[in-house]
Structure 1
């Protein structure tokens, strides 16, 4: 069975709102809701998810979690990845 992955929007640094309508607190299950996540954010998330699902480790950040950013420089949504 593959590891389950939860993607949570936890912060935002850009000056504009997400073009896809995502808001802080939104949570996505990778297996059942990945189509709801912005394709630009998913493009960044996928290599991390692939590593986690197939037994690899990703160095954790200063908050002891795994984070990535949306590549849209006007928005800069910050997401957290969690195995569950």
Structure 2
């Protein structure tokens, strides 16, 4: 997929909330390219990632987050994985 002028976004699992393991088998330290690794990432996590990726790609910044980065959790109530979305230059 051609990115055109959109910046690349890297998603990294940086933590987890809860005691269970991820139902999809993800673990802390995994890194994904938002555009090319979509088939490898849990659909629930992708659904949660989209607004943050959109904000970063179009020049927005989230309060309290470093420029070009956004942290968020997936929506799995049993184990919410913490992700960092980051613009890759």
So what's the TM-score if we normalise by structure 1? 0.88
Q: Say whether residues 1:47 and 2:51 are aligned partners.
A: yes
Paired position in structure 2 for 1:16 = 20
So what's the TM-score if we normalise by structure 2? 0.84
> In proportion to residue count, which structure has more strand?
2
Structure 1: stretches of 5+ with no match in the other structure: none
Length, aligned pairs only? 82
Structure 2: stretches of 5+ with no match in the other structure: none
Paired position in structure 1 for 2:60 = 56
Structure 1's consecutive aligned runs of 4 or more residues displaced over 4 angstroms after TM superposition are none
> In proportion to residue count, which structure has more helix?
1
Paired position in structure 2 for 1:80 = 84
